[in-house]
Structure 1
């Protein structure tokens, strides 16, 4: 009598992109600061939008820019979240466990960026649509009355969400590169928001052209339903933001390959 031993395939426990992304997803949503920051950002956009709609008189301008004016404040909150996603792990020391679990390292950064991008874009788009519709309740009898089906409106709302998301992705890259929450916040506020305003004062036409492609200026061009005077086209603005975000992520990616931690 011959005994036959069945061979049962061992379950695969190797690292896969899906598992790494799932891990980063759980890490993001199990931290209280995530909920607080996202709710704060949404509340700022919605609150300012309602205020702008309720107090509007007859100043004119782009209706999407008017109703989503609070994005400037909400975007700062989302940028801080991006910094916490990366630099926050260095502050707590949890990054050692993450990089030990994923020795190749770079997939951790890409997973963080992917989870952050999906979360922030979905929230920003939903908040922008809700804010626009709510503000239109107050603007229905004014020259700013509009609907989602009007030319350029939905594209501007989506562009607004994309701009906020890419600005936050730049902040995430700064957090990963500097590995310090205060340092990354200072770099984002100073480098992304303040430096372009200082450079704008220089009397050079080439500088004015360059500033139009800076992150905050490009994001503003993306969120307008009508062409903004002196701004680049939405396509050029999106490309500029993508390049800025790619550059912001390339630096920490290089550091992850060269440093021990």
Structure 2
């Protein structure tokens, strides 16, 4: 029998990572939680919101998708489990034995996770917004999908959360420990921008809007405020953070033992 049948191909690695993604329970749990939390928080806000309560100046898309404060962690955990989870179970040895060049595994994991995360979050956003708006009708937060900036912000939020998930995947490759990676992800996403923002220098203040969580906030606004980065630079900054994390992960993946 020809050995060509057993040759490692990009398509084969991609298919393998696709199957691995869907055969672990954590994938279903984290994706379901992402949708349930987003929809649940959006409906809760819509049901309890009253005009004149002090939140009238909050961007409508940010208000409806406020569940992202939780879902960015949930979807980050999914990315971490795809890489650090394999190290914790020892499955990574079998994976790298099957794909000795290693890097195709990382790129395939990132591609599969990115495609799935973007699809799920985008569908959830376009379901959550109109549902929440049925409860916000007649308030100062009433809006439509066809209003300027609304659809762009819903797509931007999905793109931002997807990039955070892929960044978390890179962290999982770097740290190779699920608890350590989750700690680093939460610290870098939620805590570091606040610490840097407290530094009394203009350069720190100018840099904060381009940190991942702040860039995500900008992408989730139909009309970003003056203090935020505009949406194009915010998306670019988030993509660069993700690319840098994956680049360092790829370098270490090639150099160190599994």
Could you say which residue in structure 2 is the equivalent of 1:238? 235
Could you say which residue in structure 2 is the equivalent of 1:3? none
Deviation at 1:217, TM superposition (A): 0.3
Deviation at 1:11, TM superposition (A): 5.9
1:138 pairs, out of 116, 135, 146, with 135
- For each residue in 1:159-189, what CA deviation from the matched residue of structure 2 results, as whole angstroms up to 9, or x when unmatched? 0001111111111111010000000011011
Deviation at 1:140, TM superposition (A): 1.4
Could you say which residue in structure 1 is the equivalent of 2:45? 52
Q: Aligned ranges for residues 113-132 of structure 1 at < 5 Å?
A: 113-132=110-129
- 1:40 aligned counterpart, secondary structure: helix
Deviation at 1:192, TM superposition (A): 2.0
Query: TM-score, normalised to structure 2's length?
Result: 0.95
- 2:210 aligned counterpart, secondary structure: coil
**Separation in structure 2 between the aligned mates of residue 10 and residue 97 of structure 1, nearest angstrom:** 20
- 2:94 aligned counterpart, secondary structure: helix
Could you say which residue in structure 2 is the equivalent of 1:158? 155
**Separation in structure 2 between the aligned mates of residue 27 and residue 9 of structure 1, nearest angstrom:** 27
**Separation in structure 1 between the aligned mates of residue 150 and residue 189 of structure 2, nearest angstrom:** 26
**Separation in structure 2 between the aligned mates of residue 180 and residue 260 of structure 1, nearest angstrom:** 15
**Separation in structure 2 between the aligned mates of residue 40 and residue 138 of structure 1, nearest angstrom:** 22
Query: TM-score, normalised to structure 1's length?
Result: 0.94
Could you say which residue in structure 2 is the equivalent of 1:185? 182
What RMSD over aligned residues (CA atoms) do the two structures have, in Å?
1.3
- For each residue in 1:127-175, what CA deviation from the matched residue of structure 2 results, as whole angstroms up to 9, or x when unmatched? 1111101101101111211111111110000000011111111111110
Once superposed, which parts of structure 1, at least 4 consecutive aligned residues long, lie more than 2 Å away? 8-13
CA contact (8 A) 2:30 2:75 kept: yes
- 1:212 aligned counterpart, secondary structure: helix
Structure 1 unaligned runs (5+)? 1-7
- 1:203 aligned counterpart, secondary structure: coil
Please identify the structure whose Cα radius of gyration is greater: 1
Alignment: residue pair count? 254
The answer to whether 1:20 aligns with 2:17 is no
Q: Aligned ranges for residues 57-72 of structure 1 at < 5 Å?
A: 57-58=50-51, 59-60=55-56, 61-72=58-69
CA change 1:151–1:177 in 2 (3 A) is same
Could you say which residue in structure 1 is the equivalent of 2:215? 218
The answer to whether 1:81 aligns with 2:74 is no
Q: Aligned ranges for residues 164-203 of structure 1 at < 5 Å?
A: 164-203=161-200
Structure 2 unaligned runs (5+)? none
